[in-house]
Structure 1
Amino acid sequence: MKLLGSVRAKKSPRVTAMAVAAIAVIGVGVVAPVIVPTESQAQSRRTVPPTARYVSSSGQGFILDTSGSRPLMRLERSTEVWVLRPTPAPRGDIIYRNDNGDQVLRVTPDGAVTLYTTTAPQGSPASRVGEAQGLASAAMTGAQLVDYFMRQSYRASQAMGRLIVIDVDIQPGSEQVAADTVSAASDAIVRMARSSNLRAQVERVRRVVVSDQGRPGVSLVQGTLRIVIDADAGIAGRPSSARIVRVVGGDALNR
């Protein structure tokens, strides 16, 4: 069965960016909040290259970018960029967690890195294998944005075997964060669709709405997965796929 993705933008003054996007190049510049690292965090950053590619002993590759105010990470074979929160740990180590509270990385004062994933929950030592480009997202043109939203809708629809509609209701300047959000939502839907204990939960999702108005958060009400972003916070202003899975999956995650 061949499915076509669907993307809708509401016709309101706040969606001017989406209407004008088709004929104008939109430059997105977001200033992230300044975070002053603790002494232990500063020490960890001195021993970890600003941006590098790593491979764990289990074979999972990833890129860690600590060049900005927020550490970023992306697993290979994934499009999602994780915004990590560093917290001090015993012996001067730093633990990096995602917005769902999951431990993702542990870095020692001498720069040793351990990766934690669902397939290696106890941790897998990782080695630096080379340099990498930073993970900050580049601005997209209006045409690229529309195409990107369509592809993400198609990806989610294919995973579910039915149409998943994506509505984007944003102000000018929120385009890039909205794009990252749509990608994270699609990742979450695809992951849950492939899970035997989460498939029934994600079946409730019929529509994804991304907005930049209201209190940032994720909710699922009557088939609509609503995600409110904080574009001023940059990539940190949108939820990760793990957080979306937590909201949609609910108690099924504990079974």
Structure 2
Amino acid sequence: MAIALAAAALSTLATASQAQAQNQANAQAEQSQSLRNNSPAPRALPPTGRYVADSGEAFILDRSGQRPLLRFDRRDETWVLRPTAAPRGDVIYRNDAGDQLLRVTPGGGMTVYTPRAPGGSPASFSGPGQSLSPPNLGPAQLFQLMARRSAMLSRAMGRLIEINLDTGEQAEGLSVEALILSTDAVLRISRSPTARSSLDRLRSITIIEGQRASVTYSRGDLRIIVAPTQGVAGRPSSARVIQAFLAQPAPIRR
């Protein structure tokens, strides 16, 4: 009988322990469900479309691909945006040179940063916008583009500036963008009285294909690597090109 009583007591304790554990599990499940129900809604992201800032500038935001893309009206360059966290749950979108272009609040409010509005200007959705995928021209049009761009730079610099392109068909769209944005960057620098001297050694622009997008400037050659494996981010921006020129020491004048 003593053994039976002891077994009954152990059985009662085990049953009570199991019931207590089940109650704790139920309480934890209810608490988790309550936390999920009370958690904030997912972040509101701006939709693809055309936006207009209070400063008067308009741009297309394309979120159809892996990375958000932005292009201002009457501009040839498409900016690839990279998100970074900011205070109060905001997200800052920067280009590959680290320049801030957009700031988006958790509620979807958007601010755009431009040379006209360096402190930021609120922007609002105004309608649909087209895709900003890289263009494909074909061999004949690509050769004509290279010739036109070489002539533009040669006139601006007062000497021949060669453009060399050695990429495959898969990299054609990126090569076209790299060609346009790099020559535009050179033209912008050439119009600056203080920065033009950084172009004194420039003799050629070379675009090749590689594993990672990059830009270097050495011995008079601006060399740009485009990387199709990186998608739309597989070419440097004009801001990176300008950085490459300005990072060079100024030439010594005798």
Fold shared, TM-score > 0.5 on shorter chain: yes
Relative distance call for 1:200 and 1:152 in structure 2 (3 A) is: same
Aligned to 2:175: 178
CA distance in 2, matches of 1:112, 1:215: 34
CA contact (8 A) 1:105 1:116 kept: yes
Secondary structure at 2:173 match in 1: helix
Query: Aligned match of 2:104 in 103, 107, 119?
Result: 107
1:194 aligns with 2:191: yes
Give the aligned partner of residue 28 of structure 1.
Answer: none
CA distance in 2 between partners of 1:68 and 1:214 (Å):
20
* Off by >4 Å, runs of 4+ in structure 1: none
> What residue is the counterpart of 2:245 in the other structure?
248
Could you say what secondary structure the match of 1:43 adopts? coil
Number of positions where the alignment pairs a residue of Structure 1 with one of Structure 2: 210
- Pair member with larger Rg: 2
Query: Which of 82, 94, 112 is residue 97 of structure 1 equivalent to?
Result: 94
- Asked whether the 8 Å contact 2:90–2:106 carries over to 1, the reply is yes
- How far has the Cα of 1:199 moved from its partner? 1.0
1:81 aligns with 2:87: no
The letter for the 2-side match of 1:193 is S
User: Could you tell me which of 147, 151, 159 is aligned with 1:150?
Assistant: 147
- Aligned counterparts of 1:119 and 1:161: Cα–Cα separation in 2: 31
Over 3 Å counting, the alpha-carbon distance change for 1:193 and 1:44 in structure 2 is farther
Q: CA deviation at 1:177?
A: 1.1
Farther-moved stretch of structure 1 (150-159 vs 70-79): 150-159
1:73 partner SS = strand
> Are 1:165 and 2:195 an aligned pair?
no
TM-score (norm 2): 0.76
User: C-alpha displacement at 1:113, in angstroms?
Assistant: 1.2
5+ long unaligned stretches in structure 2: 1-39, 250-254
Gaps of 5+ in 1: 1-39
User: How far 1:159 sits from its partner (Å)?
Assistant: 3.2
Cα distance, 1:207 vs structure 2: 0.6
- Deviation of the 1:127 alpha carbon: 2.0
Q: Which has the higher helix share?
A: 2
Give the Cα separation in 2 of the matches to 1:150 and 1:184: 15
* TM-score of the two chains, using structure 1 as the length reference: 0.76
Structure 1 residues 139, 204: closer, same or farther in 2, change over 3 A?
A: same
Of residues 66, 69, 94 in structure 1, which corresponds to 2:66? 69
Higher RCO (Cα < 8 Å, 6 or more apart): 1
Shift of residue 216 of structure 1?
3.7
Distance 1:187 1:121 in 2: 21
Larger deviation: 243-252 or 77-86?
243-252
Deviation per residue, 1:36-81 (Å, 9 max, x gap): xxxx9x7242xx11x2111222221111111211000011111000
Counterparts of 2:124 and 2:210 in 1: how far apart (Å)? Answer: 42
Give the aligned residue type for 2:43. Answer: Q
User: 1: CA distance between counterparts of 2:74 and 2:154?
Assistant: 20
Q: Is the 8 A contact 1:96 1:103 kept in 2?
A: yes
- Report the Cα distance in structure 1 between the residues aligned to 2:107 and 2:203, rounded to whole angstroms: 48
Counterpart CA distance in 1 for 2:173 and 2:135 is 8
The answer to whether the 8 Å contact 1:149/1:179 transfers is no
What's the CA shift for 1:152? 2.5
2:212 and 2:234 in contact (8 A); partners too: no
Distance, in Å, in 1 between the alignment partners of 2:151 and 2:231 is 25
SS of 1:152's equivalent in the other structure is helix
Residue by residue, what CA displacement relative to the aligned partner does 1:123-177 show, whole Å, maximum 9, x if unpaired?
Answer: 1111222211111124322212222222332333343343321000123322111
Which residue does the alignment assign to 1:32?
none
**Closer, same or farther: CA 78–156 of 1 in aligned 2, 3 Å:** farther
Shift of 1:251: 7.0
Residue in 2 that maps onto 1:43: 43
